[in-house]
Structure 1
């Protein structure tokens, strides 16, 4: 059974974007033509784990009917929460956006035809949640490097966004796991 934890959201997000380049549309002589790129995006939020107590005793899981009824009759006195000092990641958004380029960059073509255009996210049952930081993108950011370990997986980038300061931290590929682990141990 899945363990449910109560947590308070913190203003720190971990962003993972994966790029699936593809033509997807007919090409002229198999070289010049439209390109459609799909950018898959996952956003997780750091949260502080809390324990729930009823009359001073720790609850294992959610309160039952009896506890909820007593809390309803005298609100704010029986059910309380206390931070444990642990942090976890909570997935808040999983989705994608499509980016179209009418023509690949060919000398002599105007930049208006070769510029990438973000088509956004079409209505889809495969989108989870609402993106809490839609203004922060990794794809297209010159500071972000997409890597493909082993050359077989699609290019992926990871970054940490601090919402209170507006700072985007882009760790090198070798340090990604350590940076995320460090967020959870603070």
Structure 2
């Protein structure tokens, strides 16, 4: 998408990011997780959680936003050190990536993912991993086109007592020359 600029998220972006996250979940996960959970999501609650997170400091977590031509937040991505203990530490994890639902397929997610991959490589991570809902064919195609592949990891993500299967994807990162 022309005019998209990816930058680090600031506290001023919290409300817009919360809207992208909630609307993104509600669109992308319809039919994949319990509808009652999606219906119960609130931009205000999500914004409160983001504010709490920012108030504690983000540490090693990198939050990115994609701005449109007039500065509006169109998408958000977040990555940092891999969190699960099932693998040796040292890899990065893409925790989340969301785009405004009316802009799906317009290149915003690709711009956020490209920047996340680049920044994770700059930080010296050898691989970038992520978890994706097993039934989310659209997201799986998106990640596969970007060089990610399932690495054999599987687990259930529980949503309102309902197990939702996830698969783990990974992509090697090329070291950045100094």
Q: TM-score range by the shorter chain?
A: under 0.3
TM-score by length of 1: 0.23
More helix by share: 2
Larger RCO (alpha carbons 8 Å, 6+ apart): 1
- Structure with greater Cα Rg: 1
TM-score by length of 2: 0.23
